[in-house]
Amino acid sequence: MAGHNKWSKIKRGKAITDAKRGNAFSKLSKEITLAAKHGGGSIDMNARLRSAVLAARAANMPNDNIDRAVKKGTGELGGAQIEEILYEAYAPGGVAMMIEIVTDNRNRSANDIRVLLGKNQGTFADSGSVAYMFARRGEIRLDKASATEDQIMEVALDAGAEDIQEDGDDWIVYTATDQLFQVNGVLREKGLTTTSQKLIYQPQTTVTISDVDTAKSLIRLYDILDGYDDAHHVHANFEIDDAIAEQLD
């Protein structure tokens, strides 16, 4: 698909920038807390928590931070309880967005997202008006240099994966939502190092952006939303035409 790999590289670059500025620790901590809240504090009994802790350790998060995030999820530490909220929005160019928020103050987060959208050519969408354009799936990424496509397919499909795709420098393994952590565990057991694993909202149709100003506006909005403290994941259904993407470097 036109521009798909280029946009993927842009997003991966932003992930590296987030890690450098400490934003990644916040997101990893929230994922640990959510995993512990929903499945308990034992990494042996909670696959989602085990995966989150492994990701945190790979990012060199201090053990004290990990332990504190687990205890927040299990209720061992006091303080406000966090909750997950999903906002639907429209962005420039008619692009649809799904914005996953993790917050201890629903009203504050709703107001913040409304302001960020309003200042960057975006608007809230009515509930359900955007969600139907996305499917909930598990996504596992592996460095393309770590294995061949045949190796990935053999292990992943046997483990219960639904599909394998190439995306720039990565292999992406897609799974059903309830198979994500099981498939990721099997890949690791077989010696395949995964670089990320998460639940996503995958666009079922995409909008290809062929105007440089619209592309810049979209990336600016995406970056601002993704960098918001309470944002967990941001999903959008756009791709950038290769000729336009070259002008964004």
Query: Which sign does the torsion angle of CA 32, 36, 41, 42 carry?
Result: negative
Residue 173 pLDDT greater than 50, yes or no: yes
Give the model's pLDDT for residue 210. 87
Q: Which residues contact 110 (CB under 8 A, 6 or more apart)?
A: 85, 87
Of residues 236 and 3, more confidently modeled: 236
Residue 26 or 172, more confident:
172
The residue that leads in pLDDT, 179 or 20, is 179
Query: CB neighbours (10 Å) of residue 63?
Result: 10
pLDDT, tens digit, for every residue of 121-172?
999 999 999 999 999 999 999 988 888 889 899 999 999 999 999 887 889 9
Please, which pLDDT band fits residue 181 given cuts at 50, 70 and 90?
A: confident
Q: What pLDDT is stored for residue 16 in this prediction?
A: 47
Nearest Cα residue to 57 out of 49, 67, 66, 48:
66
pLDDT at position 12 is 54
Residues 61-109 have pLDDT tens digits of 999 999 999 999 998 887 668 889 999 999 999 999 999 999 989 999 9
User: Is residue 111 over pLDDT 70?
Assistant: yes
Whose structure tokens read 């608007």? 123
Question: What is residue 105's DSSP assignment?
Answer: -
pTM of the model: 0.84
Write the DSSP symbol of residue 128.
T
Q: What CA–CA distance (Å, rounded) separates 120 from 224?
A: 9
What b/e readout covers 64-75, taking b as 16+ CB neighbours within 10 angstroms? eebebbbbbbee
Average predicted confidence (pLDDT) for the chain: 86
Cα gap 176→161, rounded to integer Å: 7
- How crowded is residue 157: how many other Cβ atoms within 10 Å of its Cβ? 14
